[in-house]
Structure 1
Amino acid sequence: MKINRAYTLAIIAMLGFSLMLGYAFYQLLRVERSLANYVGENMLWAINQADRETRRFSDTLLLDSADKDMILLRLDILKSRVDLLSEGPQLEYFKTIGAETQLKNIIETVERVETHYGTGDNFAMHDVLSLYREIQPIFSDFGRIANLSMLYERNAGGANRDRQLQIIYLVTAAVLGLMTVGGLLFLLLIVNIKSANRANQELRRYQEELEAIVEQRTKALSVALKNEKKANEIYKGFLTTVSHQFKTPVAIIDLIAQRFIRHPQDINNANVIEAAGRIRETLGRLTRVIESTISGDIVAHEGVKLNISEFDLVEMVGQTIAYHKEIYAGRIVDFDPQVKAFCYRGDKTLLEQIIINLLANADKYSPDDKPIHVTVMRDGDAFSCRIKDFGAGIPAGEADMIFSRFYRASNVAHLSGSGLGLSFSRQIAEMHGGQLILLNSAMGSTEFELRLTRQENSE
């Protein structure tokens, strides 16, 4: 706290001395400008010129008294010089130095001479001496003005020198003050650095102790965190994946309702019975999805449990394609069943989800005018379902990562998706002892294959 207060006082002092130094330079600039002002010299020159013309005029009166035109010319020149002294800044300057009375006397004398003798009509040779005596007082007035100007400039120069001396003292005090405060700040900085070094050493010791404690606790928690993370990922993947199964039955029911609303004339016993049957079948499928999803045993420590039942894989694939066509009516799906039936024991809801995911991906990543090819075949006790699209494909070098959790190919990153569908679909296939593989990943087409082997207890 004391060091902070000392820093604050030092900074305030530096600001004060800096302001003092700035003020001193400002005053020094003003003095320099005043020294560069040559008003006094200019005024002395103007007075000298006016005095000179007065003497020429008087000399002309004595030496060239017969030359009337020369006398009038010199009078006009004198009048112009006096008029110059009685205008603008010249007049203000003479008022400042206290020569206003002398200047007034000069102006009045010249005006009287001009009035009495300047017309040229009433000018006579015998008036020359009178004119000469009229002019004589001007010389004394010009001399007094010159003396007043010299005294004023001398006093002004002395004042400027005094101001310069004061400014030098002020600059010296400001510089010394800044140097003193700078030295104080330097000492405070050294003290602060030493304190910081001691604090850093203490902090380093505390950090080492804390790191040891954290390392011990981290080892104890790492296993639990990994298990929890794995369970959360499995649960998130399952919920994301089965969302398609919730959407498909609801969408089919909505399509049937829309057809009745748009075409009420088609409502008859046969259509109602057919629609009711489809709705019941769809609701049964939705019920199975709900039971698989919200069951209390859906997520166990090792992952998702299977709800085993016996069903026909070929029929399941055909129904899934039919559901897909209901939702995506504009998409052509070519179904080539090379085997009529294949009985299998497994979780129909989850296996159906693999087909839904593959069809949904093929629809999402393919142009609307491109078909989807689905082929089912049998090789002994092995069942194969291949789904091929003609869309974006998978870039070279990314095929090995396409089944990783949350991974999405770089050429479809701009489209919506979670990157969990293929990962969870492969997990479902492996839980049934099967495989989900990528057969073709060339740009412009993609083909996946689901392989399942009949279990020993299957008929």
Structure 2
Amino acid sequence: MKITRAYTVAGIVMLGFCLMLAYAFYQLLRVERSLETYVGENMLWAVNQADRESRRFSDALLLDNHDKEMITLRFDILKSRINLLSSEPQLDYFKNIGAEEYLKNIVATMEQIEARYETEDSLEQAEILAIYREVLPVFSDFGRIANLSMIHERDAGGADRDRQLNMIYLTMAAVLGLMTVGGLLSFLLIMNIKSANRANDELLRYQEELEAIVAQRTEALSVALKNEQKSNEIYKGFLTTVSHQFKTPVAIIDLIAQRFIRHPEDINSEAVTEAAGRIREAVSRLSRIVESTISGDVIHADGVNLKAEEFDLVEMVGQSIAYHQEIHPARFVRFEKQISEFLYLGDKTLLEQIVVNLLANADKYSSDSAFIDVTVLLEDDVFICRVKDFGMGIPENETDMIFKRFYRASNVAHLSGSGMGLSFSRQISRMHGGDLTLLATGKGFTEFELRLPLTGIECA
């Protein structure tokens, strides 16, 4: 109860000091704004300069009356000085100090002199003396303006200094008050923290004992569950990839058989020879897949073993495109080869499946009339294969998720798929020392990039 009351009192006092500090800050802003006004600082100098030019003009009238150019020069200089004093913000300054009437008299006198001087080609001695007598009151007016400026600056400077001192004292009082209240609050806070720490220590001791019991009973089960989940994910990913690999050559064989059934009249020795060659190629590819699948160590705890062989990556991409167009003859694939060949040591079957997966995705998520762009190039001894479709694209907020296992973008949920192809394809590319990335996507297009360096393969 006492601590709560102390906090309340300290809070009220701190609020009061904060309000005081805010008021002091407001007054400091006013002082700062007043210091930004530089008109009055040099005003006395400007008035003295104008007064000096008026005297030089009068001297020129008396001493150089035969030299009209000199008189004109002195008159123009004097007029420019007076124009400066008559413009903003100088004019407002003179209005504030009560010197506007004197300035108007000076301006009127100069207009009279200018009118008289411009109407005469040459001035007689009597006219010069008349102009001189008209200039004499200007000296007195400048003197009065200078006196008013000096008095105003003296009073304003004193008021500003008094205001600044008051603000300094007010700010110091507010800061000292805040420091005092802050010290009191800090003391109360330390006492509360110590009390809370004692309670937390007791709670943590009981919690640690309970967690130790739970950890001992669940450690074995947790390890077993993690191992099982990891094995299941690897196995599912491998089976998904293998199913895609089997599908392509089987689909080609089935396509040739359907063509013979539908068009028996086209069967001749050349057609049979050509079809047999394509069937043998599909069977050869199927045999390689079967051989890599039935191997006893193809699946293990860390992933999938790779079987190294030397082959041409450019040719492999071309064959993958040919397989795809065999199954989807209506889909046009533009193949741009910036390099003619690229010999590589890696698992041809699995790398071929990456390209097949990218083509299958591009075909699945594009409209029937859209085409697919495939580009191969070499960049700093790194083989690059880019596959670009012009379909529905990937939502921007989901681009970081598409390589996760079993994840499918929200805009393709209505289409068939397992969500494993991209994940497993990236795993295979990284086991070869490369990577599979989403290069770009937007409304109406998606582009993936496969990079394979000359080194980095982890084949068995």
User: TM class by shorter-chain length?
Assistant: 0.5 to 0.7
1:213 to partner: Cα distance: 6.0
Cα deviation code 1:101-152 (max 9, x no counterpart): xxxxxxxxxxxxxxxxxxxxxxxxxxxxxxxxxxxxxxxxxxxxxxxxxxxx
Query: Per-residue displacement from partner, 1:193-233 (whole Å, max 9, x unpaired)?
Result: xxxxxxxxxxxxxxxx9997654231123223212211210
User: What is aligned with 1:402?
Assistant: 402
Secondary structure of the corresponding residue to residue 400 of structure 1: coil
Inter-partner Cα distance in structure 2 for 1:298 and 1:432: 16
Q: What is the aligned partner in structure 2 of residue 357 from structure 1?
A: 357
Q: Does the CA-based 8 Å contact 2:362-2:388 persist in structure 1?
A: yes
Judge conservation of contact 1:344–1:455 (CA < 8 Å) in 2.
no
1:10-409 pair list within 5 angstroms? 215-409=215-409
**Alpha-carbon distance, 1:252 to partner:** 0.5
SS at match of 1:376: strand
Which structure 2 segments of 5+ residues have no match?
1-208
Report what 1:427 is aligned to. 427
CA distance in 1, matches of 2:253, 2:375: 28
Partner SS state of residue 361, structure 1? helix
Q: CA RMSD of the aligned region, Å?
A: 2.1
What is the aligned-residue identity percentage? 71
Counterpart in the other structure of 1:59:
none
Cα offset, 1:274, TM superposition: 1.5
Gaps of 5+ in 1: 1-208
- Structure 1 CA distance for aligned equivalents of residues 388 and 220 of structure 2: 48
CA shift digits 1:164-209 (9 cap, x unpaired) = xxxxxxxxxxxxxxxxxxxxxxxxxxxxxxxxxxxxxxxxxxxxx9
Q: Tell me how far apart the structure 1 counterparts of residues 448 and 272 of structure 2 sit (CA, whole Å).
A: 39
Residue 445 (structure 1) shift: 0.5
Q: 2:350·2:428 contact (CA, 8 Å) conserved in 1?
A: yes
Task: Check the 8 A contact 1:309/1:348 in 2, yes or no.
Answer: yes
Q: Which AA in structure 1 matches 2:355?
A: I
How far apart in 2 are the matches of 1:217 and 1:449? Answer: 47
Distance 1:301 1:438 in 2: 28
Post-superposition Cα deviations, 1:9-56, rounded to whole Å, max 9, x if no partner, equal xxxxxxxxxxxxxxxxxxxxxxxxxxxxxxxxxxxxxxxxxxxxxxxx
Amino acid at match of 1:431: M
CA distance in 2, matches of 1:254, 1:372: 24
Q: 2 CA distance for matches of 1:363 and 1:456?
A: 31
3-state SS of 1:401 partner: coil
1:326 positional shift:
0.7
Deviation of 1:288 (Å):
0.9
Task: Tell me how far 1:417 sits from its aligned partner.
Answer: 1.1
Taking a change above 3 Å as real, the CA distance of residues 213 and 354 of structure 1, as seen in their structure-2 partners, is: same
In the alignment, the residues of structure 2 paired with residue 259 and residue 223 of structure 1 have an alpha-carbon distance, to the nearest angstrom, of 54
Q: How many equivalent residue pairs?
A: 250
Deviation at 1:259, TM superposition (A): 1.5
Q: Secondary structure at the match of 2:442?
A: coil
Tell me by how many angstroms 1:294 deviates: 2.4
Partner secondary structure for residue 452 of structure 1: strand
Contact 2:436/2:451 (<8 A) preserved = yes
Whole-angstrom CA distance in 2 between matches of 1:327 and 1:390? 19
Over 4 Å off, 4+ runs: 209-214
Return the letter of the residue paired with 1:257: A
Q: For residue 238 of structure 1, report the CA deviation from its aligned partner.
A: 1.2
* TM-score, normalised via structure 2 length: 0.52
Larger Rg: 1
Query: Distance between the aligned counterparts of 2:217 and 2:456, measured in 1?
Result: 49
